[in-house]
Structure 1
């Protein structure tokens, strides 16, 4: 086998599978091209408003349809695996983590938010409250969730590890503008391994990169870039490959653009015209599968198109094996019937546009008799995949094709066992606390958010739980704490009273009780006297009252007559 074919398979099966990412990233050659004619990814389901798309490393496709549903299928299948549509409103963006948790924005009547959903479970957990719907969603390597708010011209973020729904500003100011610290209706976003944020700034017709912790961005593509790039018209999404080159969904120009060392050029939908399998209509998002094929949500045509990787090496033709058909039964059984498709491509040294590439495709059966065509400038040997035994695939037949290996269906650390009697089925052995055909149901008493405020959850023998709270926190879920208002109280619930305050309380109560006794006694004495007087005719106080009245009666004083002056006339008796 020639080294160039080994290099191609290395790209297809190894490079894109970073161990710390749930999505596929690749390193493409300068001359890489994709088939200009797309294939409808799934035909068994009618899509209404497909926008968000995510493809994990197992090549499971997740599509957010704004009609209120998330559709999930395997990329080599034409059958739908499952649909999530319970309590879901206007989902626009979607992201799936390594453990299979699905994060999707939900414009719920009770408030806009981002929900975490576990595949196979009907429940959801709000992880971020938002002002409006997320037009872009991403989770970086540090478990930080990013959401681009289309209506409020900003990108917010929040760490998933703090068990709160709050967020902080990551880019933009919240007001529409064209300065380097502003956004105008941002859409798709991407965060690389350096935690640099890439934003498709839609109405500013540019792609911005915000270095980690920096408020101002740098224009990487668009008319406002300092370097000569390419003119964009309402870009809807941006994806960054392993070499930090850009793939841009240019919405209003109905095309997909990539950057390379030779600049920017169109790779899909480059000729314009009405929607067809070679043209797009309002494309919204794009994603790679593990083979380097491109998937595009074609919003205007209500479909998801798949564009096959044609070649990945310069100056000669290449051959890519692809799975064509498969059928999947419910949950624990799947059947795979495959055919091998060999695609050979030729192109000149400097031609990068798909219009310069000619294709010849031959479908073959498992007998491995493969006609080959090539118009390269030098001879190319034909690549013939080996004939593997049952349940193995790959160049050296070293990759298992059993259900457990390909689908990895068992969730929550469940162990998958291939059914020995039926090679197309599997069984999941679940850990304690989990059940379901895929161990998708979690019945453990201790959940990640059972105990709040860093409390430690311990399973009880009766099947319940008990939270060991940190200092100051209390309650069944460590949900509250008591702060004593003064030094007179202490204890976990402020239930301990100081001696000084206790003495004051006892004294005040004693004085109060004494006053109550005195007032009560006086009132009772008056009542008894009134009863004796008016009921029994006994006036106990009559004599005493008489004495008191007499003492108070004023004494009548005898008035003194005024002194009279009498004059005496002496008479002489002798006369």
Structure 2
């Protein structure tokens, strides 16, 4: 059973090796429309192609099935093409001719490649031998195809296929273009072995998300889907469950409530309705000396500035910082001691002067005053007499 898809979509692609050049082959298969007559669905149209097995893939033969009609009962029709290979390897394909994916469904069975005639004038691969007698012509070709035996009144042509399973089967080719599986004992089975159910529920398996398919002849699709809890739609394709695979974003377990709602039980380190937020472990300032805190899952780390500090919380100073602190403290202590010494000297001098009448500087001040008085200089004015003789 194939959902044919859009135009030129490949349904079947298979490479055949070790063919005889010039020998005529037939490529065929049985096709059936799985929808009953009257269904509003496009009729599939399949194109059979044979191409050379090389990069450009030259077309050797092509033929279309035409629209495969809807019938009240599943009816099989055989379609095929014949070709003569130009090389020992070809690719056989089936492609869609209808550009619609919904409802464009077809059943395919008994895909076959057979030798049409044993008479040829071309070349065969080294592994192929041909033997001819007056009454029987036998051609043995090693390929990866099925085995077909065709009997006429005068000549018998037998093609034996050797594959990894080393099996040989014989089929009788029907002379009619339409094949109906009337040999099955039960009308509900199809196939050459009558082992395939023809119920649409079994062929299409249309119900998704664990829905159950029930045959219903009164429905346009001939079936109904009984959906699991939380799903609906013709094929149970709509998901209305409160808990979906990504409801908790992979960071928690989703649990449904009685009111068809949900709650997420978040894993360690995550929070939020959908467990979408990671817990900030830097909400409290944990890094010292201007270190930058970086929150990680279930932990945090401190990025210390430069090489001045290190440690879990940037609390360990470097040797350079330690020496600078000691020097700074030493200068501070010296300055404080000097200021205290000056203040104490002033206080002691005041106590001696005003409390005990002792002024150690009084004698020095008197001496300085006397020296200033002695050093005063007398300024003399010198008068120059007028000249003794008048000017002439």
- When Rg is computed on C-alpha atoms for both structures, the one with the higher figure is 2
Same fold (TM over 0.5): no
Higher relative contact order (CA 8 A, sep 6+): 2
TM-score (norm 2): 0.35
TM-score (norm 1): 0.25
